[in-house]
Amino acid sequence: MATQRSLWGRALRTSTLVLVLLFGLLACCADGLFYHPNATVYATAAGYGLDVEEVSFAAPDGPRLHGWWMSAEGDSRGTVVYCHGNAANLTLHARYVAWLPSRGYDVLIFDYRGYGKSEGSVTRAGTVADAVAAVDFALARDPDRVVVFGHSLGGAVGLRAAAERPAVRGVVAESTFSNYREIAAAKAPWISWLVPFVVSAGSDPDEVLDALPPAPVFVIHGERDHIVPVEVGERLFERAREPKLLWKVPEARHMSPWALRSRRQEFERRFEEFFAQALASERRRR
């Protein structure tokens, strides 16, 4: 009997170890699904009609990050820090903010660690640290007029970074979400019970939404979004505190509504109105 109990005990410990390792492996893989970096050059600055300054700055824990600084044409009206989505690199995503310099805005678009020319390997906490470093770079040049604009994953990252820097005057969160586990469950509801085991917690925007007011938040979401369902964006808006704005675009999918020619003029007008509102809002204090 003693030998049998010993064998059972050993089998149980082995099974437990295998399960722990399996769930650990699944967690790493599941978290990795949020990131698809590469170094492919999709377009040059000249191809976008831009004359950019290539900039480099360090994340707090070391990796050097690469970005493009797009200077405003004429007198600057303020600065936009753009946090792009989870795939490719800034040479693809710059198209969504290339219109801003001609309207008088300075723009900093940057790559998270592991993306494009940026050093290091991507992690969730790392993306937030990288965005904070980008905000600090922008604030050093324009201390009073910085607004953060993020698309998809970039919206989640941008909300976290803005919460850490009271000098940020507002946040535009486009096609984004407020909780990593929640979006994972929304994408795979049939195995949602597994999500707490395979998607790690931490760095969720909904943990810091209360830190943003009185800086306003502008939530933009396509009603036909097939990547981040519009219901997820609605929950982000509901959780945010005033002042806040919501614009749901009926025909838009996950790509920025700016890409729709029928919506481009309206997008630019709404963005500029929000930027003016953000600069007029009361400053945050700590």
d(CA 284, CA 286): 7
**What is the reported pTM?**
0.88
Task: Tell me how far apart the alpha carbons of residues 49 and 95 are, in angstroms, rounded to a whole number.
Answer: 10
**Tokens, residue 163:** 């919460």
Listed residue (97, 89, 39, 103) closest to 69, CA to CA: 97
User: For the purposes of burial, counting CB atoms within 10 Å of the CB of 126, is it exposed (0-12), middle (13-18) or buried (19 or more)?
Assistant: buried
Residue-level pLDDT, tens digit, the chain, 286 residues: 555 455 454 544 443 333 333 344 344 445 667 899 999 999 999 999 999 999 999 998 889 999 999 999 999 999 999 999 999 999 999 999 999 999 999 999 999 999 999 999 999 999 999 999 999 999 999 999 999 999 999 999 999 999 999 999 999 999 999 988 887 776 665 555 465 555 666 679 999 999 999 999 999 999 999 999 999 999 999 999 999 999 999 999 999 999 999 999 999 999 999 999 999 998 887 6
